Amino acid sequence: MKKATWKKTSFAEKIVEIIRTSPSINEMREQLQDYHDNDIAQSLQFLNRAERNLLYSALDAEWLAEIISYLDDPAEYIDEIGIDKLAEILNEMDADDAVDLWENIDESVKVKLRPMIDDETKSAILLINSYDDSEVGSLITTNYICIKQNLTIRQAMHELVKQAGENDNIGTIYVVDDKNRFCGAIDLKDLIVARENVPLDSIISYAYPYLLDHEKISESIEKIKDYAEDSLPVLNKDRRIIGIITAQDVVEAVDDELGEDYAKLAGLSAEEDLNETTRESMKKRLPWLIILLFLGMGVSTVVGAFEGVVAVLPVVICFQSLILDMAGNVGTQSLAVTIRVLMDEKLSAKDKLHLTFKEMKVGICNGALLGIMALVFLGAYIALFKGYAIGHAFLISGCVGISLLVAIVISSLVGTLVPILFHKIKVDPAVASGPLITTINDLVAVVTYYGLAWLLLVQLLHIV
């Protein structure tokens, strides 16, 4: 009996060692069986071309298919694999992985591969590609167990064993009626512990949750998460199962969905990674920046109207960036909270009103607190370092404090209402809200601050 080795070295390192030192291919294959396919996939980068070729010839297509499906960037290696083996690998792969791999293959190789791909794989690839990337259908795998409704427990078990050779998502067994329409599901555990004399019917859940192929991923992701199942069936309009979505797909989808939102909040049009070219990165970042540049020119016009105030009381410009930064941040906070709340599709009009009121309340409380802090600390600062009389210093800092309060309250409201509005008119609030909110907040803050300074300090009190 073998013993696990518990050294500090990583699994990938051990795999490299095995491939380099095994006396025979059989020995190597046997030892590799103990390792996770993901670890074998990770070890490829540490091998040289000859060692990888050894691996490709030692393992069968089914095993290689599993390993390749774990690679982040299979394009690096598929050129190294002979065309016959590559075709075999594609035929063995789960449909969704085959689609991913297929996209990584050069057109010249595809031409040669096409006649070698079996019909089942071909139609699965066609099916998945027929869905838009935003639709549930694009996430499916055809690796699942499906049995007829009218079997006995023993027949079902037999069918499971037969299909499990090909399909390894066996946690839930899907059941179809005599017209091949989805009618329910069996938890594998229930089948395993069931006694042979009970009817299969008694362990079938006839109202099992399902997804529709054209549903939007973003709209069904909360539902999928809520059911917390290893897999959920995906049906077409005829109630036929076209495939399943596994928990792993959900992890990826959640990751993508949140990653996209995260990127959008930061003013990127899509998520970026380390390996992108400068050109791609520019394309993702420029749209928002250009919009902002032009909106900013609009703000400049408004600020221009207050040149007179600044000319007579230059000290006021010191605090413009403070007020704008604070307003901008408060707006982003409200925006982020609102977008996350909006992701929950079940929001009623009452909930939205509640959210708006809450944001306003938080804005008033935070604004009042920050306004008072600005009044006290800035007043002291202006009196001490700018050489203004104490009374005048606190009048100026009072202007800043009141402007902060007003700007923060309005920013909270804008940061809440603009995304709600965009959501209502079916525009992605995460993408559209950013520049608009920044601009509105800037405008409000500038007008409030300079307006107040002009009214209070220049017109009424003649501080200058």
Q: What are phi and psi of 245, to 5 degrees?
A: -110, 125
> Of residues 184-203, which lie at the interface with its own copies (CB under 8 A)?
184, 187-189, 192-193, 201-202
The rounded distance, in Å, linking the Cα atoms of 236 and 290 is: 42
Closest to its own copies by CB, 115 vs 346, is 346
Which region, judged by CB under 8 A, interacts with its own copies, from 79-87, 100-108, 374-382, 455-463? 374-382
Closest to its own copies by CB, 109 vs 247, is 247
Residue 318 touches its own copies, criterion: CB under 8 A:
yes
The rounded distance, in Å, linking the Cα atoms of 335 and 331 is: 6
Residue choice 70, 109, 116, 236 for contact with its own copies (CB under 8 A): 70
User: Are β-strands 172-176 and 145-148 bridged in parallel, bridged antiparallel, or unpaired?
Assistant: parallel
Residues binding its own copies: number (CB under 8 A): 133
User: Shortest gap between Cβ of 78 and its own copies (angstroms)?
Assistant: 20
One-character DSSP codes across 351-404 = HHHHHHHHHHHHHHHHHHHHHHHHHHHHHHHHHHHS---HHHHHHHHHHHHHHH
Which region, judged by CB under 8 A, interacts with its own copies, from 84-92, 98-106, 118-126, 305-313? 305-313
Residue 336 touches its own copies, criterion: CB under 8 A:
yes
Which region, judged by CB under 8 A, interacts with its own copies, from 79-87, 127-135, 251-259, 454-462? 251-259
Using alpha carbons, select from 173, 313, 285 the residue that is nearest to residue 230: 173
Closest to its own copies by CB, 87 vs 136, is 136
The set of residues, in sequence order, having a beta carbon less than 8 Å from that of 215 and lying 6+ positions away, is 135, 136
Residue choice 244, 341, 383, 395 for contact with its own copies (CB under 8 A): 341
Residue 36 touches its own copies, criterion: CB under 8 A:
yes
Residue 436 touches its own copies, criterion: CB under 8 A:
no
Closest to its own copies by CB, 220 vs 332, is 332
Residue choice 332, 403, 433, 448 for contact with its own copies (CB under 8 A): 332
Residue 406 touches its own copies, criterion: CB under 8 A:
no
User: Shortest gap between Cβ of 363 and its own copies (angstroms)?
Assistant: 9
Residue 148 touches its own copies, criterion: CB under 8 A:
no
Residue 136 touches its own copies, criterion: CB under 8 A:
no
Residue 240 touches its own copies, criterion: CB under 8 A:
no
Q: Distance between terminal CA atoms of the chain?
A: 92
Token pair belonging to 134: 């935003």
Could you give the angle at which helices 320-342 and 349-385 cross, rounded to 10 degrees?
Answer: 160
Residue 26 touches its own copies, criterion: CB under 8 A:
no
User: Shortest gap between Cβ of 83 and its own copies (angstroms)?
Assistant: 28
Q: What are phi and psi of 147, to 5 degrees?
A: -130, 165
> Of residues 208-237, which lie at the interface with its own copies (CB under 8 A)?
208-209, 225-228, 230
Token pair belonging to 421: 């509005």
Residue 29 touches its own copies, criterion: CB under 8 A:
no
Which region, judged by CB under 8 A, interacts with its own copies, from 57-65, 85-93, 160-168, 420-428? 160-168
The rounded distance, in Å, linking the Cα atoms of 213 and 324 is: 46
CB 178 within 8 A of CB 150: yes
Residue 384 touches its own copies, criterion: CB under 8 A:
no
CA distances from 173 to 111, 236, 275 (A): 37, 18, 40
CB 176 within 8 A of CB 182: yes
